[in-house]
Amino acid sequence: MWRMCLESVLLLTLCNVIFEVMPEQKSGQKLQQKLLADRKELFSSLRRSIRSASVLRAMERVPREAFVPTGERHNSYLDLPLTIGEGQTISQPYIVALITEALCLQLADRVLEVGAGSGYQAAVLAELVPDGNVVAVELVRSLAQRARDTLDYKNIVVEDASESLGCSWRGPYDAIVVSAAAPTLSPTLTAQLAVGGRMVVPVGDRDKQELVCVLRTGEGISLRMLGPCRFVPLIGREAFPAS
Q: Is 84 left (phi over 0), alpha (psi -120 to 50) or beta?
A: alpha
**140-175 burial: b if 16+ Cβ within 10 Å, else e:** beebbebbbeebebebbbbbebeeebbbeeebebbb
The catalytic position among 45, 49, 91, 243 is 91
How many Å apart are CA 140 and CA 88, to the nearest integer?
A: 9
Question: What is the rounded distance in angstroms from the CA atom of residue 49 to the CA atom of residue 47?
Answer: 6
Is the backbone peptide bond immediately before 69 cis, with ω within 30 degrees of 0? no
- DSSP state at residue 158: E
Distance CA 161, CA 236 (A): 9
Collapsing DSSP states into helix, strand and coil, what is residue 143?
helix
Q: Is 91 a catalytic residue?
A: yes
For 94, residues 6+ apart whose C-beta sits below 8 A from its C-beta are: 45, 46, 49, 50, 79
- Residues noted as catalytic: 91
